[in-house]
Amino acid sequence: MSLAGKTAIVTGSNSGIGLGIVWELARAGADVVLNSFTDREEDHALAQGIADETGVKARYVRADMSKGDQCRALIEQVGVCDILVNNAGIQHVAPIDKFPADKWDAIIAINLTSAFHTTAAALPLMRKAGWGRVINIASAHGLTASPYKSAYVAAKHGIVGLTKTVALETAQEPITCNAICPGYVLTPLVEAQIPDTMKEYGMDRETVIRDVMLQRQPSKEFATVEQLGGTCVFLCSGAATQITGTTISVDGGWTAL
């Protein structure tokens, strides 16, 4: 399928899953906008690399997804948004009685509230274009919980609820809104959790990967960023026109347990 003529904005896409999604949307022909809160040469070079390799238009726009006005400004500055992927996210692992309040606030702001602002800004552009796809990158933790991840689990359950509400509000329009719920994907976000989890459980790295992270992933394999990008491309295809307000798990069977 071709997404030629469509413009996709993917929040938090200079790394990990977001970057994988941008690549797959670009390979399918969409023009892409990469985003994060930094403004480094290498951020812009990522966009240039995608443009050079795929022939689509690609650019990098700095905006901090912890700030509501910057979330809205990202969409407004680009001025067109056929595909919005709310992907930016952070994690912090600690028991709730030791969970720093500023980490709670940051996780809720970046992983949940940013999607409220970007979606509110993008829907008028989608309506004008007569077509739109909102894709929220939730998590298996949007459907189940794990200890020590109170803010993350709350934010991811929240974004699943937001997904359903936006889908109902757009149900009679050529716009869909869905959430993808990945299991573990070996990205920098997951790498960063390993030391804390090693400390929390008193385990070495290999044991954390096998017995904690992939313990609930029956396939015993990480999902890949390419698979998540491919799922986004599918949600933009004609076959997915009647798929709205739902979650698609890419979790090696985690939520079947």
Residues that are catalytic: 152
The answer to whether residue 132 forms part of the interface with ligand NAD (CB under 6 A) is no
The region of 2-10, 93-101, 177-185, 236-244 touching ligand NAD under the rule CB under 6 A is: 177-185
The answer to whether residue 131 forms part of the interface with ligand NAD (CB under 6 A) is no
Given a contact cutoff of 8 angstroms between Cβ atoms, the answer to whether 180 and 230 are in contact is: no
The answer to whether residue 229 forms part of the interface with ligand NAD (CB under 6 A) is no
Which lies closer to ligand NAD via its Cβ, residue 48 or residue 241?
Answer: 48
User: What is the smallest separation between the CB atom of 4 and ligand NAD, expressed in angstroms?
Assistant: 26
- CB-based burial label for 47 (10 Å; 0-12, 13-18, 19+): buried
The answer to whether residue 135 forms part of the interface with ligand NAD (CB under 6 A) is no
Single out the residue of 8, 26, 65, 121 in contact with ligand NAD (rule: CB under 6 A): 65
The region of 51-59, 92-100, 126-134, 181-189 touching ligand NAD under the rule CB under 6 A is: 181-189
Which lies closer to ligand NAD via its Cβ, residue 190 or residue 198?
Answer: 190
Residue 16: left if φ>0, alpha if ψ -120 to 50, beta else—which one? left
The region of 94-102, 171-179, 182-190, 241-249 touching ligand NAD under the rule CB under 6 A is: 182-190
Could you say which residues in the range 14-43 bind ligand NAD, by CB under 6 A? 14-18, 36-37
The region of 83-91, 202-210, 230-238, 240-248 touching ligand NAD under the rule CB under 6 A is: 83-91
Residues 81-114: b if buried by 16+ CB within 10 A, e if exposed: bbbbbbbbbbbbbbeeeebeeebbeebbbbbbbb
Residues found near ligand NAD in the complex (CB under 6 A): 11-18, 36-37, 64-66, 87-90, 110-111, 137, 139, 182, 184-185, 187-190
